[in-house]
Amino acid sequence: MVFVWFIIFLILLVIELMNTDLKTIWFVVGALAAMITTIFTNLLLIQIVVFIIVSVITLVVTRPIISKIKDSKKVIINSKSINKKKKK
């Protein structure tokens, strides 16, 4: 089962690296936690529950931080002010 969680981890990591929106990073962390859980138990239900819980906690904790970082990097452009500067 470690191999399955490792494959899920790699797939989600590749998806995350292909985009810059940080949409799957929470599931990457959840898959890593589920993979670590396989050391302690072979019960798939427990591994899935760990995956879901860790993913949700990571989402809830990091989403506001990531939103602030992304909002601070936005460049606000007012096209009317640009046009006024060009006319002067």
Q: What is the DSSP letter of 88?
A: -
How many Å apart are CA 6 and CA 34, to the nearest integer? 9
DSSP E strand stretches across 1-88: none
The rounded distance, in Å, linking the Cα atoms of 11 and 52 is 17
Instruction: Kindly list the domain boundaries of the chain, sorted by start residue.
Output: 2-87
What pLDDT score does 75 carry? 61
C-alpha 34/C-alpha 28 separation (Å) is 10
Tens-level pLDDT at each residue, the chain (88 residues): 899 999 999 999 999 899 877 778 899 999 999 999 999 999 999 999 999 999 999 999 988 887 777 666 666 566 655 555 555 5
The per-residue pLDDT for 77 is 65
d(Cα 52, Cα 47) in Å, to the nearest integer? 9
| Total number of residues shown for the chain | 88
